[in-house]
């Protein structure tokens, strides 16, 4: 992690939005009818069935119009749809550093943005009203933190205003920290608190000191413990915690643990073809290209048979990933076909950049250093221009190894 902004962006990407799916049922109570609807809706959403999930929640808000949880859930799905439409749905989007205070993202679809802003504002207002009339209500305090945290996620990942997201995030962090202090059984609150404690602990000393001054705590061990508790069988935030731990384990190169998480998610959400893409990414990063090939082939089969909407540039992403795996397996002809296909298809510039890096590897294998250098310079420009400094750094590192 290069800067404080890097870490806040990572937290927005994994902690806040993932915690918003949690249904606070860790206490021994019977789930309410509205909670049952939310569980069903999130199950659909994690299987990429957004339309029926939204329909369920919209019907529920007509039955329970004063439910902060339901409005927050609708806002969450609007936010996820925005990321889906933009193509920010893979581990590759969250494993590299972000060093800018402002990131120029493509504006979201206006209808989705309006839906998000209206529902997150309604959820926040309802939670604040409940707290004003019932100051000790932990459910209301949790809901306030979750809604404010979701707004912070949107500011960071959709608007690209990282420093503004920090200010919003701090309010959410404090609310969930208060929930945990009042009732440690509320492990769902530990998802957000634990993530930020872990992140702050990994900052350089001056930045860690600054974060602690404004109100964040730093403890790598406690942060991970809180996250892992939130992922345990007693927690109804466990699925959201799994997604968070998947990113953290992958960033730490704890590939065996990350693989265990993604396999559980694949079992739980078999219609989410993107999980197979992420499993292949993990296996390739772990030096297991044969396993990566198996996962990407299964994922391709799911993609081909799936009539539902695609992520922006999804076909290009799949071809790039399979091409990279085939490069690692030295299946050079097939790899080049995939990579050239990825470049022909509509896709993100960072995907095109990484495809050029893999084409450079092929050029180097056949002894064509001049082409390799040309491909890598182009790769670095494309990745850097599409907020992918990790991809750019990989291209430049490989370029530095080419000798005349």
Among 138, 156, 183, the domain-final residue is 183
| Same domain for 168 and 281 | no
Contact (CB, 8 A) for 4 and 207: yes
Comparing 140-144, 244-248, 256-260, which segment has the lowest mean pLDDT?
Answer: 244-248
- In a domain? residue 204: no
Among 183, 210, 227, the domain-final residue is 183
Please tell me the pTM assigned to this model: 0.87
Contact (CB, 8 A) for 87 and 135: no
- Distance, in Å, from the CA atom of 48 to the CA atom of 269, rounded to the nearest integer, reads 9
pLDDT over 90 (residue 3) = no
- In a domain? residue 385: yes
**198, burial (CB in 10 Å: exposed 0-12, middle 13-18, buried 19+):** buried
pLDDT over 70 (residue 99) = no
Q: What is the predicted pLDDT for the residue at 97?
A: 53
Q: What is the predicted pLDDT for the residue at 274?
A: 94
Contact (CB, 8 A) for 357 and 379: yes
| Same domain for 163 and 14 | yes
Average of per-residue pLDDT values in the chain: 86
- In a domain? residue 255: no
- In a domain? residue 87: yes
85: domain range? 4-183
Please, which pLDDT band fits residue 355 given cuts at 50, 70 and 90? very high
Please, which pLDDT band fits residue 206 given cuts at 50, 70 and 90? confident
| Same domain for 45 and 167 | yes
Half-sphere exposure of 117 (CA within 13 A, CB side): 10
Q: Which residue would you say has higher pLDDT here, 387 or 88?
A: 387
Please, which pLDDT band fits residue 31 given cuts at 50, 70 and 90? low
Please, which pLDDT band fits residue 236 given cuts at 50, 70 and 90? low
- Distance, in Å, from the CA atom of 229 to the CA atom of 257, rounded to the nearest integer, reads 15
pLDDT over 90 (residue 210) = no
87: left (phi over 0), alpha (psi -120 to 50) or beta: left
């Amino acid at each position: 992690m290069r800067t404080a902004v890097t870490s806040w962006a990572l937290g927005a990407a994994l902690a806040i939005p993932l915690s918003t799916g949690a249904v606070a049922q860790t206490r021994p109570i019977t789930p309410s009818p509205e909670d049952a609807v939310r569980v069903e809706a999130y199950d659909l959403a994690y299987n990429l069935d957004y339309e029926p999930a939204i329909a369920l929640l919209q019907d529920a808000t007509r039955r329970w119009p004063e439910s902060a949880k339901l409005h927050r859930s609708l806002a969450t799905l609007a936010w996820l749809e925005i990321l889906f439409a933009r193509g920010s749905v893979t581990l590759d989007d969250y494993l590299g550093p972000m060093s800018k205070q402002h990131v120029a993202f493509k504006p979201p679809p206006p209808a989705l943005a309006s839906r998000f802003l209206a529902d997150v504002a309604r959820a926040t207002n309802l939670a604040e009203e409940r707290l004003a009339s019932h100051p000790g209500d932990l459910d209301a305090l949790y809901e306030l933190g979750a809604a404010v945290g979701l707004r912070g996620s949107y500011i960071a990942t959709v608007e690209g205003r990282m420093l503004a997201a920090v200010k919003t995030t701090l309010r959410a962090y404090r609310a969930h920290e208060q929930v945990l202090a009042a009732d440690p059984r509320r492990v769902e609150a530990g998802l957000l608190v634990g993530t930020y404690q872990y992140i702050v602990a990994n900052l350089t000393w001056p930045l860690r000191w600054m974060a602690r001054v404004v109100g964040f705590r730093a403890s790598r061990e406690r942060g991970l413990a809180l996250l892992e508790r939130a992922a345990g069988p007693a927690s109804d935030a466990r699925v959201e915690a799994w997604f968070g731990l998947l990113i953290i384990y992958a960033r730490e190169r704890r590939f065996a643990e990350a693989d265990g998480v993604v396999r559980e998610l694949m079992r739980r959400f078999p219609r989410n073809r993107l999980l197979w893409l992420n499993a292949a990414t993990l296996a390739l990063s772990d030096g297991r290209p044969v396993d990566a090939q198996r996962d990407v082939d299964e994922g391709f089969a799911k993609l081909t048979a799936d009539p539902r909407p695609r992520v922006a540039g999804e076909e290009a992403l799949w071809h790039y990933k399979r091409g990279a795996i085939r490069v690692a397996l030295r299946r050079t002809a097939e790899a080049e076909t995939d990579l050239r296909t990825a470049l022909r298809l509509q896709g993100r510039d960072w995907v095109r950049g990484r495809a050029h890096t893999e084409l450079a590897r092929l050029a180097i294998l056949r002894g064509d250093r001049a082409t390799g250098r040309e491909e890598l310079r182009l790769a670095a420009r494309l990745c850097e221009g599409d907020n992918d400094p990790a991809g750019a750094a990989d291209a430049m590192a490989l370029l530095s190894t080419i000798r005349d």
